[in-house]
Chain A
Amino acid sequence: MTDVLNIVEAPLSWIILLPAAGALLNGLFRLKSTLNGLLATAFCFAAFVVSILQFLKFPEASKLADPGYLWFQAGHVKAQMGFELTPFMSVMLLIITGVGTLIHLYATSYMSHDKSQARFFAYLNLFVTSMLVLALSSDLIGVFLGWEGVGVCSYLLIGFWFEEDKNARAGIKAFMTNRVGDLGFLVALFVAFAYFGTSSVSGIMEWIADPGRAAALPVWVLTVFALAIFWAACGKSAQIPLYIWLPDAMAGPTPVSALIHAATMVTSGILVIVRLWPIFATQTEVLSVIFWVALSTALLAALMALTQRDLKKVLAYSTVSQLGFMFAALGAGAPTAAFFHVVTHACFKALLFLTAGSVIHGMHDEKDIFKMGGLRKKMPWSHVAYLVGCVAIAGFPFTSGFFSKDLILTKVFESRGVLGYGLLLLAAMLTSFYMFRSYFLTFSSTPRSHEAEHAHESSAMMIVPLMILSLLSLFVGWLEIPHMWGHLQYFSHWVESSGAKAVEGHEVEAATEWLLMGIATIASLASAFFAYVKYKKGPVTSSENFAWKLSFNKFYVDEIYDSFILKPLRKIGTCLSLWIDEYGVNGTLHGSFASYRITGQLASIFHTGSVQSYALLMLLGLLVVWGVVNVW
């Protein structure tokens, strides 16, 4: 990284305004056939084109900036709505708009029979807008605007088919859980304004970089700030204890699950932490917390994914688990590895979700993998796409997941030792197992239901995005190869030139690295083979023991939250409110009227509606006033 910053002005707000215009047009006009979808796709694609143009300005520029305008200012708070683009975020920008365009295109076909297409694409474009605000804002308060904006779009899209109560409730669950997380973001903003005097990322970084000013801060400030941001990230990026909304979020249309709940929004917690990395790098305790929370999430979610029957639920728990991998990388002090996995995961998980959507589409909305089977012949393209996705997420050699997961495992081994490494490796093995379980149950053997027998391949408009994503899932990993293979480390360059340097740890020798790579590869291949042996003939139902029940019922976490936290809180609050308002305050008030009876009698005066009684009342009022006068 060069020390001389070369900040170039760039029209970044245009990237945001394009999908915003798309959202507005789709919100206002209901067009015929699939025109709404194509319109939304066009605006997203336009944003992609502008993004590429900005991307090409690197590496001459070290940062692009768009000053924007003053959002609001009062007292010590100054909120600037400005935008900036660092190299690593420009990669994310390409993911948001590029993968976003593919998913829009796919959705145009996927949603073509829905009567509310215009609303769907308005939400989808609005989501892209908010996500871009989140990614591009130069100030944390602007990031928060996008952060809550994507949350609302997620809420609206999860509950898109609002006629069903279940969907509307899943939307509320997502919104509420995220709100609880957002309290962390708000606290971080309060701290930022109170102690750094700004919420601009570069402003905070300057503050941290200046030893004099940093020393003047109370010791807890940075720790609390980092923990608060991590709490917010737990909400948005579905980590323990706030991950519970993501599996339910699958109630939304599948393109939404692909775009929001796999590729983009759920990674925003990681993106924000990478942007603020210089703070986190100094907070070793916070990094430990992040690591162990992430590791537990990765394991727990993987265990839950083992037994799910709903294809989208398998992918949802897998997403939670993979997000755990990314946070584990952060906890191991390796922002590059985390961000690398964000990108590869965006490709293969979007691919998996879209393929799942294609399968569900072909199965006439049947999501139960126990009722699938034999789809390899019925849906050859989807089969290939899903296989590529599985191979990539399981980390088979030379696929994108291989490179990114291997980097994470190596970094974890370097900084967290054998225990952390072993547990994360276990999570990786589980990943390979449950993904191939879903693959074999869906595609191999013979059809197990009427729908599966009559499944049909999806339209070309849906298949083309799948193929493009398949290629990305296979090859995007080659942008960051292990050091001993050669000099091709784009991600390190992007992340480090954006100001996020890895925490110094002891680097393992090449021989160890080869060894770790070998272990991970064998583990993943073996798990896949085990899944093949177990599920090639169809579902195995004989093993419904206690452990199976725990996993299938998601360790009863939802039920525990409900009966020990949510219900009591609600009960206590409403009871207090009822007692105090109705019996306490109102009771006293009615007492001071002597009784209800007098009130009733007074009231009956009004029922006469006569002018005299009104006059009488006014006179009474005047008398009271005179009475007060005469006291003095």
Chain B
Amino acid sequence: MVSILFWPLLSILVLVPFRKQNWAQWVNLLLHLPWVFFLIELIKVTPSGAPFGLMETYGTFPLFKSALVLGADTLNVSLIALTIFLSFSLSFYFLGHSKISQSFLILFQLLNFGTIGSLLAADAFLFYIFWEFMLIPLFFLIGIWGSENRVYAALKFFSMTLAGSLALLAGIFFIVTKTEVQSLAWSELSRNAEMLSAAAPWLGWAFLLAFLVKVPVWPLHTWLPDAHTEAPTGVSVMLAGILLKLGVYGMLRWVLQVFPTLYWNSTDLLFAASVIGIILGSYGALRQTDIKRMIAYSSVAHLGFVVLGAISTNATAQSGAFFQNFAHGLSTGLLFLSFGMIYDRTHSRKLDEYGGLASTNRFLAFTFVFASMASVALPGLPGFVGEFLILSGTFLQKGWWVLLPLMGVVLGAMYTLQLVKGLVFGKVSPLVESHPISLKWNEYVSIFPFLVGLALLGLAPQFLLAWINGSIPVK
């Protein structure tokens, strides 16, 4: 666990001497190989079933009643696998890319460090450190390497998530100073769940708020379209692919497992918020003229489905929510990645300037359509498994209320097909004609894992479902 956590930091040290862009990109790629090895080792020892079934303590900070405790179960290790998968695929995309400098890669690895850290942390204070830490590299990645409106987007993202995180911090300080709990360790907190809830009714909300902003749950989502749109491709992929899921992870780990009463009391509110998010997020996507903004809004709708499953009381929807994390990570990640490759050549995100990609680059056109079909939850692709389980579980629990989120299934197809039609089909537009796209070998390699992953998770999802089954506590 320690090795998988600190490997990105070590990678940064290795990257420091390689000032030449080309070298840094290759070294970054090679540094992923040991990381994958550590991941496999971790997967081997990760127990299935109990939350944080594997826990290791490395040191303590008595001042904050906290300790360097790392925990692993299938819930977080699967997300770590997703992180490494995305980062590894992207490292191929980075090769030879003119914008990807040494400092970009260092910040990127810092982001990975923060991500893995907040996934593994089994101590509230430690979790908070990593959680905040993620913001710093992200802030600079968007603010420096983003497109025209990057500074506005970076600030908006930073301030909104920071506001959420400060609530979390306040909650943690309250626990340290005003309650009787011995430590901030997850095990201690979850053991004293009732006492914490009794201490201050707002405590759970303080935790929840941080995660709701991150997911993001409507109406806290407005940072997302800006951040995703302005961010450089690699960061958009990571944002959509993994960082949003950390919000859901946080809800399940730090609210459901620590403040279960509050969690279950808030489900009606969250149900409403996620349904509104699904419907208005879809309409939000529908009215966009900017391709990345469209994809970004689709994430609001998709994450609405995930939250819908996460607040469900049955295992069906809970597993669906968790599976949907992967489905969305791959499909939306691939949408951002394949569009990023187009954007690298054309430097335009305006949908009406595109058209006829299918006539000029069949592979990218296929990839984009494939990812779109995954995004509209076509059976045979993983989005269906996730959405179906979520909606089935919702029907079981809430009956005909399921018809509301079900509308999202139709709306999702509407904006996605509109996007596909504008970009892939139609006559070849002047923009597409004047910027011929021929992909380099490394770009093919970076797309390939996504295609295989989507097909595999769509047709044979059971290995993942069976593995993560049981680590999600159900009411």
Given A72-B465, A77-B316, A606-B151: A179 in contact with B410 (beta carbons within 8 A): yes
Counting CB contacts under 8 A, is A169 at the interface?
Answer: yes
Interface residues of A in 554-579 (CB under 8 A from B): 570, 573-574, 576-578
Is B378 within 8 A of A148, CB to CB? Answer: yes
Is A75 within 8 A of B417, CB to CB? Answer: no
Counting CB contacts under 8 A, is B356 at the interface?
Answer: yes
Counting CB contacts under 8 A, is A193 at the interface?
Answer: yes
Is B379 within 8 A of A148, CB to CB? Answer: yes
Counting CB contacts under 8 A, is A145 at the interface?
Answer: yes
Interface residues of A in 326-364 (CB under 8 A from B): none
Interface residues of B in 277-307 (CB under 8 A from A): 279-284, 286-287
Interface residues of B in 128-185 (CB under 8 A from A): 136, 140, 143, 151-152, 154-156, 159-160, 162, 166, 169-170, 173-174, 177-178
Counting CB contacts under 8 A, is B395 at the interface?
Answer: yes
Interface string of A412-424 (1 = CB under 8 A from B): 0000000000000
Counting CB contacts under 8 A, is B267 at the interface?
Answer: no
Distance to closest chain B CB from A69 (angstroms)? 8
A574–B406 Cα distance when bound, in Å, is 18
Is B151 within 8 A of A607, CB to CB? Answer: yes
Counting CB contacts under 8 A, is B315 at the interface?
Answer: yes
Counting CB contacts under 8 A, is B256 at the interface?
Answer: no
Q: In the complex, which residues of chain B have a beta carbon less than 8 angstroms from the beta carbon of A581? A: 222, 280, 284
Is A74 within 8 A of B286, CB to CB? Answer: no
Counting CB contacts under 8 A, is A189 at the interface?
Answer: yes
Q: Interface size for chain A: under 10, 10 to 19, 20 to 34, or 35 or more residues?
A: 35 or more
Distance to closest chain A CB from B351 (angstroms)? 14
Counting CB contacts under 8 A, is A60 at the interface?
Answer: no
Counting CB contacts under 8 A, is B102 at the interface?
Answer: no
Q: In the complex, which residues of chain A have a beta carbon less than 8 angstroms from the beta carbon of B136? A: 618
Counting CB contacts under 8 A, is B414 at the interface?
Answer: yes
Is A603 within 8 A of B395, CB to CB? Answer: no
A73–B470 Cα distance when bound, in Å, is 13
Is B379 within 8 A of A145, CB to CB? Answer: yes
Is B173 within 8 A of A74, CB to CB? Answer: no
Interface residues of A in 89-124 (CB under 8 A from B): 119
Is A194 within 8 A of B391, CB to CB? Answer: no
Is B389 within 8 A of A77, CB to CB? Answer: yes
Distance to closest chain B CB from A432 (angstroms)? 38
Is B465 within 8 A of A74, CB to CB? Answer: yes
Given A76-B396, A152-B373, A573-B280: A162 in contact with B425 (beta carbons within 8 A): yes
Counting CB contacts under 8 A, is A175 at the interface?
Answer: yes
Is B379 within 8 A of A144, CB to CB? Answer: yes
Given A75-B389, A573-B283: A168 in contact with B426 (beta carbons within 8 A): yes
Is B465 within 8 A of A176, CB to CB? Answer: no
A189–B393 Cα distance when bound, in Å, is 12
Counting CB contacts under 8 A, is A165 at the interface?
Answer: yes
Is B410 within 8 A of A180, CB to CB? Answer: yes
Given A71-B462, A576-B280, A625-B169: A162 in contact with B392 (beta carbons within 8 A): no
Counting CB contacts under 8 A, is A286 at the interface?
Answer: no
Distance to closest chain B CB from A444 (angstroms)? 40
Which of A141, A574, A618, A624 sits near B166, CB closer than 8 Å?
A: A624
Q: In the complex, which residues of chain B have a beta carbon less than 8 angstroms from the beta carbon of A570? A: 286
A179–B376 Cα distance when bound, in Å, is 10
- Residue among A72, A576, A625, A629 facing the most chain B CB atoms (10 A cut-off): A72
Given A179-B410, A573-B280: A75 in contact with B315 (beta carbons within 8 A): yes
Counting CB contacts under 8 A, is A510 at the interface?
Answer: no
Is B280 within 8 A of A168, CB to CB? Answer: no
A159–B358 Cα distance when bound, in Å, is 12
Interface string of A187-209 (1 = CB under 8 A from B): 10111011000000000000000
Give the nearest-CB partner of B159 in chain A: A593
Counting CB contacts under 8 A, is A599 at the interface?
Answer: yes
A74–B314 Cα distance when bound, in Å, is 10
Give the nearest-CB partner of A182 in chain B: B409
A570–B410 Cα distance when bound, in Å, is 12
Which of A77, A152, A607, A629 sits near B173, CB closer than 8 Å?
A: A629
Chain B contacts to A: CB under 8 angstroms:
136, 140, 143, 151-152, 154-156, 159-160, 162, 166, 169-170, 173-174, 177-178, 219-222, 279-284, 286-287, 314-320, 323, 356, 358-359, 362, 366, 373, 378-380, 384-385, 388-389, 391-393, 395-396, 402-403, 406, 409-411, 413-414, 417-418, 421, 424-428, 459-462, 465-466, 469
Q: A76-B392, A77-B392, A183-B406 are in contact. List 17 more A-B contacts (CB 8 A).
A: A27-B366, A71-B459, A72-B462, A74-B315, A74-B316, A74-B465, A149-B379, A162-B356, A172-B418, A175-B417, A189-B388, A570-B286, A576-B280, A578-B287, A585-B222, A593-B159, A599-B155
